[in-house]
Amino acid sequence: MIRIMNKKSFWQKLKRPFFVLAPMSGVTDQSCRLMFVKYGKPDVFFTEFISASALFCDNKNARKYCLQVLKFSKKEKPIVAQIFGSNTLQIEKACQIIVNLGFDGIDINMGCPDRNVEKQGAGSALIKNPKLAQEIIRSAKKASAGLPISVKTRIGYNKNELDSWIPVLLKENISALTVHFRTKAQGYGPSANWELTKDLVSLRNKYAPQTLLLGNGDVKSLAEAKTLANKYNIDGIMIGRAVLGNPWFFTNKNPSLKQKLKAIIEHTELLPDTKHFDSIKKHFHAYTKNFYNCKDLKDSLMKSKDAKQVKEAVKEFIKNNNI
């Protein structure tokens, strides 16, 4: 049974500008999000994205993985589940499941440049297939029981296509639209084209004044996020890579070395199991960035296999450096 949602969209209740933790595969799992709950929540959380088809396929391991990705606590609300796919029926079925899990919204990824995602006709491949993109949004709305549907995309595939691509999405009256200010071809390389925000806002005002806009790309601090939001009159900012190793990001606090070391242990202890322990190691790199005399600590953390070994490595570092 699908749970019917009649209440006002959480997006409309947010104070503007608002700041959102970007969905990053292999990074923003629940353990990561819970660190932000403790040290400084964003206004909105997103899950890592999942394949719509994998959520209800015959492969038990695939389904189990998807449900693990979609696991969240009430502390993380409001939280949006992000999905990708190119089959409208699969999108519809996935949304039905997500509604019943209690999420606050559903976001459709139409910007991921990953080859495996593109091969499925999903992610950034949808920029080249606007008709299908619209059909996917309609399928999601059909199954969402009133849950707000949003989209995350890029400015184009090989070039800036804002004028032709963005209206396709806005005409579907989505609740929110996040635009990463690079093309698919640019990946994560050259600087994000934030100057295009003015064009994006103009298109929104013309085609869907009620749709909220979020900008994404290269934002390095909360202060910068606030500056960009005010400069370009955009509703919200989504921040990705800059938050790694910094669960204080949304507070503008500058943690001490001791606080960072404590956070490394806490983050590790939040992992549900050691099956995917290596996924936290990208966080270790970020947590220890610019640490003085930390080579031995980094080496130990990268070789660790469980929370106990991480705790021992941190304690050894504290002892050797009289912290």
Does residue 130 fall inside a structural domain?
Answer: yes
State if pTM tops 0.85.
Answer: yes
Residues 279, 218: one domain?
A: no
Tell me, yes or no, whether 159 and 301 share the same domain: no
Report yes or no on 191 lying in a domain.
yes
- 237 & 286 share domain: no
| Within a domain: 3 | no
Same domain, 111 and 232: yes
Q: Both tokens of residue 281?
A: 């190691």
CA distance 208 to 132: 20
- 57 burial (CB, 10 Å; 0-12 / 13-18 / 19+) is middle
Q: Do 236 and 186 share a structural domain?
A: yes
Residue 300: inside a domain: yes
225 & 266 share domain: no
Cβ partners under 8 Å of residue 58, min gap 6: none
Pair 151, 190 in one domain: yes
pLDDT by position in tens, the chain (length 323): 344 444 679 999 999 999 999 999 999 999 999 999 999 999 999 999 999 999 888 889 999 999 999 999 999 999 999 999 999 999 999 999 999 999 999 999 999 999 999 999 999 999 999 999 999 999 999 999 999 999 999 999 999 999 999 999 999 999 999 999 999 999 888 899 999 999 999 999 999 999 999 999 999 999 999 999 999 999 999 999 999 999 999 998 999 999 999 999 999 999 988 777 888 998 998 999 888 888 889 999 999 999 999 999 999 999 988 88
Cβ(152)–Cβ(107) under 8 Å? yes
Residue 178 parent element (H or E): strand 176-183
End-to-end CA distance of the chain: 56
Q: Are residues 39 and 166 in the same domain?
A: yes
On whether residue 252 sits in a domain, the answer given is no
57: annotated active-site residue: no
Q: Is residue 5 part of a domain?
A: no
For residues 303 and 183, membership in a common domain is answered with: no
* Residue 105 sits in the same domain as residue 223: yes
Q: Which domain holds residue 77?
A: 10-246
Domain end call among 199, 222, 246: 246
- Reference 244, options 54, 28, 44; nearest CA is 28
Decide: 85 and 119 in contact? Cβ < 8 Å. Answer: no
Which of 187, 213, 246 is the endpoint of a domain?
Answer: 246
Domain finish residue from 200, 219, 246: 246
85 vs 118: CA distance, rounded Å? 9
Per DSSP (E only), the strands in 57-132 are 79-84, 105-110
32, 66, 95, 112: the active-site residue: 112
The verdict on 228 and 272 lying in the same domain is no
Structure tokens belonging to residue 141 = 């709305």
Looking at the structure of the chain, the number of domains it has is: 2
